[in-house]
Structure 1
Amino acid sequence: MVEPATAKIAYWHLWADDRGATHQTRCELTSFELQSMGGKAAAQWNDCLLSGEATLLFAVLPVGWIGEWHTNPKPQWISVVSGRWFVESTDGIRVEMGQGDLAFGGDQNAAPDAQGRVGHRSGAIGSEPCALMIVQLDPAVWSGTRPGTFK
């Protein structure tokens, strides 16, 4: 059995500061509770971040795909299903992620920097497409979310 102190999931949080520059911060989900999903299912560690309306979509980035500087269309959780991709923020940080990695795209408040870059740049890495699962959240509630919001 996993002890509460070790029930955690790491993720990258892409966010915009008060000047509109974007950054990536490594965070952890840590507010897990031992509970059953119902019926005769054994208890497991769950961290219910939110409930309500969301959009679930899957994307496949072709080999060599590059998404030049842009912001996430909505606050969104992104999980790599297969392949690899990168996300580069305007502070120069480039994070590479692979299967099972998790990120939160919350750069909707980004502003152009001196070079005209806004938000982030992303792309597929390697010789195979990168498949992503994306859960988009309500921008009226989740835009501007900073690291540490999700526990």
Structure 2
Amino acid sequence: MINPETPTISYWHLWADNEGVTHQVRCKLTSFEWQGMGGKAASQWNDHLLVGQNSLLFSILPRGWNGDWHKNPKPQWISVLSGRWFVDSTDGAHVEMGPGEVAFGGDQDAKPDAQGRVGHRSGTLGDEPCALMIVQLDPEIWAGARPGDFK
């Protein structure tokens, strides 16, 4: 098969600046390589983003769930499997995500603002639960990751 154009995957990156204010920025994963996975499998695009100590969990946020202001417990990739949810950052940004959308939670360096808000606030949208797949990363390496750190 002929190599198609190099793909990208978009994601939301939640991060804290030097003052501890959180922001959400749309970023792209761009380091895809055309390669096989072994055996007789055809080549595909792969981005080997991380290697190391990670953990995987699945989470179901019930309908009406509210996660008041908090920091992500670890740097983590979050993928929405079903349902919808939102994430608010202390800079005033409000991002809504649904199935197939991906975000990175890297607000571990957030500091309380004048209203006492820290990190982000999140919650479910609509009349159904929101199912998430979460890959938590080694905080020694990835806490405070900034937009552009994943290329």
Q: TM-score range by the shorter chain?
A: over 0.9
Moved more, 69-78 or 47-56: 47-56
CA distance in 2, matches of 1:50, 1:129: 29
Structure 1 ranges of 4+ moved more than 2 A:
none
- Secondary structure at the residue paired with 1:147? coil
Partner in structure 2 of residue 54 of structure 1: 54
TM-score computed with the length of structure 1 as normaliser:
0.97
Partner in structure 2 of residue 143 of structure 1: 143
Partner in structure 2 of residue 36 of structure 1: 36
CA RMSD of superposed structures (Å): 0.6
- Secondary structure at the residue paired with 2:50? coil
Partner in structure 1 of residue 106 of structure 2: 106
Amino acid in the other structure paired with 1:51? V
- Secondary structure at the residue paired with 1:38? coil
CA distance in 2, matches of 1:2, 1:63: 41
CA distance in 2, matches of 1:52, 1:143: 14
Moved more, 45-54 or 131-140: 45-54
Long gaps (5+) in structure 1: none
- Secondary structure at the residue paired with 2:104? strand
- Secondary structure at the residue paired with 2:52? coil
CA distance in 1, matches of 2:87, 2:48: 26
CA distance in 1, matches of 2:140, 2:67: 25
Shift of 1:16: 0.2
CA distance in 2, matches of 1:52, 1:88: 30
Shift of 1:2: 2.9
Q: Identity of aligned pairs, percent?
A: 72
- Secondary structure at the residue paired with 2:40? coil
CA distance in 2, matches of 1:108, 1:37: 34
| 1:93 and 2:93 are equivalent in the alignment | yes
| 1:18 and 2:18 are equivalent in the alignment | yes
- Secondary structure at the residue paired with 1:39? coil
Amino acid in the other structure paired with 1:135? V
TM-score computed with the length of structure 2 as normaliser:
0.97
CA distance in 1, matches of 2:148, 2:53: 22
CA distance in 1, matches of 2:4, 2:75: 30
Partner in structure 2 of residue 133 of structure 1: 133
Q: How many residues align?
A: 149
Shift of 1:53: 1.5
- Secondary structure at the residue paired with 1:95? strand
- Secondary structure at the residue paired with 2:4? coil
